[in-house]
Structure 1
């Protein structure tokens, strides 16, 4: 495969998609924080929910980073294997006598 075909397959997200994702995250987090703030319970229970929200958000970011890192490693390994295969094919001469 040529490199132009490889690059055509990889598509970067658009700016609009990025903005949509950021806004969706901000709105959902804001709504959850407002909901916890106005919850008709004692302050300790509200604080417990707030810490739970913080834990869920940081865990989600960590999970997203780990998934992205694994995907990048798999992609890099695939490219290295493909480069090795291309080199072996390029060096192979079926008519060469040892």
Structure 2
């Protein structure tokens, strides 16, 4: 169920994000493989790249989860307000 306040990414944006991530990761791997240094330095840079990549995915998931939680809370608040307005009778006499 989509509301006007909820933004959706287009397929083109999703494709661009995936392609740019793949290019950046491949460029980093290529640079590490062809760097004229000892193998242990390459291994250290490779582990750093792996750690950076996995932590970027984890951060993106945490941001997404926080945004979804905020959306659910705002939907619950709106449902409560809608129920109060639906139950309200402006013509009922105050006793």
TM-score of the superposed pair, with normalisation by structure 1:
0.87
Partner residue, 1:54: 50
List gaps (5 residues or longer) in structure 1.
none
Cα deviation 1:52-79 (Å, max 9, x = unaligned)? 0000000000000000000000001001
Aligned residues: 94
How far apart, CA to CA, are the structure 2 residues paired with 1:39 and 1:87? 64
Which stretches of structure 1, 4 residues or longer, exceed 3 Å deviation after superposition?
A: none
What do you get for the CA RMSD once the two structures are aligned? 1.7
How far apart, CA to CA, are the structure 2 residues paired with 1:59 and 1:40? 27
Higher helix share: 1
How far apart, CA to CA, are the structure 1 residues paired with 2:42 and 2:26? 15
CA drift at 1:24: 0.3
How far apart, CA to CA, are the structure 2 residues paired with 1:39 and 1:89? 67
How far apart, CA to CA, are the structure 2 residues paired with 1:79 and 1:9? 11
The counterpart of 1:40, out of the listed 36, 39, 48, is 36
List gaps (5 residues or longer) in structure 2.
none
How far apart, CA to CA, are the structure 1 residues paired with 2:74 and 2:4? 17
